[in-house]
Amino acid sequence: MKQEKIIAVVGLGLIGGSMAAALRGFEDYTVVGVVRRQETAEYAMSHGVCDRVTLEPMEVLPKADIVYLCMNPRGIVEYLAKYRGAFKPGALVTDVGGVKTAIMEGAKVLPETVDFIGCHPMAGTEFSGIEHSFPTMFQRAHFILTPGEKSTEEHMDLMRRISAHIGCSDVVVTTPERHDAIIAYTSQVMHIIAVAVCDDEDLFQCRGFEGGSFRDCTRVAALDVDLWTQLFSMNAPALTKVIERLEDNLHAYKEAVQSGDTKMLAEKLAWSANRKRQMNLPGPGQIML
Amino acid sequence: MKQEKIIAVVGLGLIGGSMAAALRGFEDYTVVGVVRRQETAEYAMSHGVCDRVTLEPMEVLPKADIVYLCMNPRGIVEYLAKYRGAFKPGALVTDVGGVKTAIMEGAKVLPETVDFIGCHPMAGTEFSGIEHSFPTMFQRAHFILTPGEKSTEEHMDLMRRISAHIGCSDVVVTTPERHDAIIAYTSQVMHIIAVAVCDDEDLFQCRGFEGGSFRDCTRVAALDVDLWTQLFSMNAPALTKVIERLEDNLHAYKEAVQSGDTKMLAEKLAWSANRKRQMNLPGPGQIML
């Protein structure tokens, strides 16, 4: 009898639940969810989130060919330390964490025989929990990989096939340090802006005056506090720099508005708007929407 | 023969084109577009944007029961001055401008017999021009009215029926000053954030690393430069204050991230996230999405 091929998805929350559901049907793998709570297991099975589910990591980790760690960043690092001896020799271990330097560092506890490739699928919502998960979450998203020093081409190719199966637009390979520096800008500071906007004293007076730009900018403010506290604090130096750059750019706009020099303001707006239009053009790593 | 009832929509750009198309079929009114360029007239007629179109304001203004001014704010003020004697006695003149104090001031040139009610439908996109207009633009949007001192209840009721016809979620009646103060926060500073984010030196290096929050926050950066230069400069004192409040709130987050005090950061994030969740609850003037 042919050996069953297994992908274990550890943690079926918003991202893990979506990942498990998206992975179903990937080649000839069986998707096994690993959860802590009986009710999550029941939800997963009754909603077809995975093929099987278990509350006992040791039932599946020693047999899994691929292990997808889908917890919060600190949870991932702790899990790697706790179960470092449990993975099958030759297994590929990966994750979905939004910071990569700390996680790649944490993965150093793994034995030589286990390959860890860091992964960050650039998708999500402002909600949390399996009941908000959905299998199309990763469609058209970037799929970022930070391979380890000993990651094999075979495993990189496997990750590329996973990326295609779950519907990602492209695979971006980078270093953990570069990932964290850029993500501070493209993701973390967007969340800082959203919460800072909601701190405004006029927030509750503005009902009836919001348009699409307000809803879009503040959408992610209703964030998962524990997750984002970890993401921000595990990337604090890079994030601090990006906030400082934003402060400078905002301040320059404040001065342009305040100056009353409409010609200068128009030129400044034209410059920024052109940069955005340039970004919207198709290019490397660019999604066509 | 019964007299034809006419709504003249002056300026068929992104907003005017959408407004004309949305107004079609409103009670027994004929929607007549007033444009400056022959090609806009041809586009409007071939795409069913309005019932009729003219390049000559004097052909329709003296006959129109309702005149919807859909140009840029300065264009609206100039048009009111130029055509102040052309409107039909008893007519209702309104507009779509994103600043209201300057426009209500400009409307003071109108004769006693003409009623001006300021209007700001809270909808739009980052594009411009009739080719980007669409009749469903105002669906579920707030419809803000700033009546003049002598605006009649009959005309206010007419505006409420227009709001319902074009699909707005609710009608908010306020003063021009309050509108401008709040809009500086809910709309203008969202655009300032979007352009300031696009001024970041890492913009073009971040391709392949953007997720939904980045796309949502920067969407409106590809703005109509002339329009937003007018909107910002015609509301500079209110906008400056809101940018300053945002600078303070951002700075507080920078210090929380930098401090390394994760408990304090978590408490701060929980506070902001709860404010956003509170905003998302149904309430007065709140759209259910």
pLDDT of residue A264: 98
For residues A27 and A225, give the distance between their C-alpha atoms in angstroms, rounded to a whole number: 36
Helix-helix angle B236-259:A189-198, to 10 degrees: 120
What is chain B's mean pLDDT, rounded? 95
> How many Cβ atoms from other residues are within 10 Å of residue A195's Cβ?
25
Share of chain A above pLDDT 70, in %: 97
A-proximal residues of B, 215-274, CB under 8 Å: 215-223, 225-226, 228-229, 232-233, 236, 239-240, 242-247, 249-254, 257-258, 260, 262, 265-266, 268-273
ipTM score for this prediction: 0.91
Are B214 and A179 within 8 A, CB to CB?
Answer: no
Query: Residue B277: pLDDT band by 50, 70, 90 thresholds?
Result: very high
Partners of B289 on chain A (C-beta within 8 Å) are: 215
For residues B213 and B203, give the distance between their C-alpha atoms in angstroms, rounded to a whole number: 14
Identify the segments of chain A with pLDDT beneath 50: 284-289
Q: Nearest-CA neighbor of B221 among B234, B207, B203?
A: B203
- E strand spans, B21-169: 29-34, 52-54, 66-69, 92-95, 115-121, 142-147
Reported as a single tens digit per residue, the pLDDT across B183-219 is: 999 999 999 999 999 999 999 999 999 989 999 999 9
Length of chain A: 289
Q: Considering CB atoms only, which of B187, B199, B269 is closest to A211?
A: B187
The whole-model pTM stands at: 0.90
CA distance B163 to chain A (A): 14
Helix (H, G, I), strand (E, B) or coil at B241: helix
Amino acid at B286: Q
For residues A148 and A163, give the distance between their C-alpha atoms in angstroms, rounded to a whole number: 18
CA distance B209 to chain A (A): 7
The size of the A-B interface in CB pairs under 8 A is: 303
* Cα radius of gyration rounded to whole Å, chain B: 21
Q: For B132, which DSSP code?
A: G
Reported as a single tens digit per residue, the pLDDT across A177-196 is: 999 999 999 999 999 999 99
Write out the H or E segment, with its range, that includes residue A42: helix A38-46
Write out the H or E segment, with its range, that includes residue A256: helix A236-259
* Cα radius of gyration rounded to whole Å, chain A: 21
Alpha helices per DSSP H over B56-207: 57-60, 73-82, 101-106, 153-165, 176-183, 189-198
Is some CB atom of chain A closer than 8 A to the CB atom of B195? yes
pLDDT of residue B3: 86
Q: Considering CB atoms only, which of A198, A257, A272 is closest to B272?
A: A198
Is some CB atom of chain A closer than 8 A to the CB atom of B199? yes
Residue A261 gets the label, from left (phi > 0), alpha (psi -120 to 50) or beta, of beta
